[in-house]
Amino acid sequence: MADIPMTDEECRLATERLSDQLDLYANLLVRKGVALREGQELVLQAPVERADFARRVVRAAYRHGAGHVTVIWADDVVSRLTYENCPLEFFEHTPSWQVEQLNSLAENGAAFLFLEGQDPSMLRGIDPAKPAAASRARNTECRSFRDGMDFGRNAWCIAGVPVQAWASEVFPELSPAEALYRLWVLILEVSRADGEDPESAWETHNASFEKTKRFLNGHAFDALRYEASNGTDLTVGLPEGHIWDGGAGRTQDGVTFFPNIPTEEVFTSPDRTRAEGVVHSALPLVHAGQIVRDFWLRFEGGQVVDFGAEQGREVLRHILETDEGSRRLGEVALVSKNTPIRQSDTLFYDTLYDENASCHLALGMGFPECVAGGTKLTKEGLLERGVNQSATHVDFMVGSDDLTITGVCADGTEVPVFVNGQWAWE
């Protein structure tokens, strides 16, 4: 029966039956995702195609005591038209009104909720220099906004909502209506938002990270060595005093929130000067509406010195040329293949989901909270501690099914961390 296609009318009725569950999901994002407080401003970024769900979030926010909700709409068609018709010079600076909007909201203590849903190929054929310039400009000119999230001054959360083009990419064999419905169901499932009490489910899930973090923080490894049959042979150094984190985040004033829904990773920031060897991708990278497939990076002295890709090499080049820090690692994240997203056997073509199906690394900005006392350090102080600084942060997946990761202690002792793509104790 599962293989019999649904009619459009069946899809419509099935989606209507999700209504109560979608309200629970909206509440989860407001109450746990950004942990909205009484009287606080919520900034909601959402695809215009999902205005129906955005309205659920706005209602949930006001019911929970929001002082005001600012909605910033995103539209794939308009974005593509802009990139097609405006010159590169336009994207090298963020319009002053957008800088003022984002910085002032961050400075006034807003929480930021980003509903992610876009066509993975929306910018196919667009000069990758344009989205690269736009991203660099926003991250360098909207400093209060960027630093508010990076340094724990503002709570924020990224979560997914389906749009038609994305759903059809994930489920190309289904009708548009059924693909959209199936992606909604899958998002709720992997986000632990398909039960009667998603908020309690997330409290339980958060507790599950503690054992893993105790193991990693207790060993205080000097380095991690990655090996896989696809050619990955990479050693990544870890800074003294590094801290493994995962699950809930915490603002400087003590608010507990979830930056990513879903999340399955534990992560830290590596020593930006100590990466040696080659790493191969395990999944495609979708970046700024363009896809990079089957790529590799070679590191020497912590820096990418060579790279290649079967598809999207120019996109990768523009990522690496963002600034000096974009050729160095800002994150190492460990994710077992025994997670709901990986077990769904679905390629999402979206980093929020695919990074939680696979161990990953990130080029660019490191995390201040991942070294002892880091949130109180200046950027220069973080650099001295080995934490990378950059205007970008791009995750890419390296967790193949046969990946082995070995922890190397300062005295040379080696401890198995991952065996065949899963925690050594699994």
Token pair of 27, please?
């509440």
pLDDT score of 294: 97
CB atoms within 10 A of CB 52: 10
Give, to the nearest 10 degrees, the angle between helix 19-28 and helix 51-63: 60
Task: Report how far apart the first and last C-alpha atoms of the chain are (Å, whole number).
Answer: 34
Is 332 a residue whose pLDDT tops 60? yes
Alpha carbons 273 and 236: distance in angstroms, whole number: 9
Whole-model pTM? 0.91
Please give the Cα distance from 159 to 259 (Å, whole number): 9
pLDDT in tens, 36-62: 999 999 999 999 999 999 999 999 999
Could you tell me the two tokens for 92?
């090298």
Distance CA 63, CA 255 (A): 19
Helices (H), 108-250: 129-141, 143-150, 164-170, 176-190, 198-219
Note the pLDDT tens digit of each residue in 106-150. Answer: 999 999 999 999 999 999 999 999 999 999 999 999 999 999 999
Quick one: which of 26, 270, 272 has its CA closest to 160? Answer: 26
CB count in 10 Å sphere of residue 180: 22
- What whole-number distance in Å separates Cα of residue 185 and Cα of residue 14? 10
From the list 153, 45, 169, 71, the residue with the least C-alpha distance to 108 is 153
Which residues are paired to 160 by β-bridges? Answer: 116
Q: Is the dihedral of CA 159, 162, 165, 170 positive or negative?
A: positive
361-390 mean pLDDT: 96
pLDDT of residue 2: 52
Does residue 98 have a pLDDT over 50?
yes
Q: Average of pLDDT values for 257-278?
A: 98
Tell me what pLDDT residue 288 has. 84
pLDDT of residue 3: 75
- Token digits of residue 54: 């955005």
Residue-wise pLDDT tens digits, 160-215: 999 999 999 999 999 999 999 999 999 999 999 999 999 999 999 999 999 999 99
Task: Give the pLDDT of residue 1.
Answer: 38
Q: How many beta carbons lie within 10 A of that of residue 150, not counting itself? A: 21
Q: What is the pLDDT of residue 289?
A: 86
Query: Binning pLDDT at 50, 70 and 90, where does residue 426 land?
Result: confident
- Tally Cβ neighbours within 10 Å of residue 285: 25
> Which residues does 254 contact at the CB level (< 8 Å), separation at least 6?
none
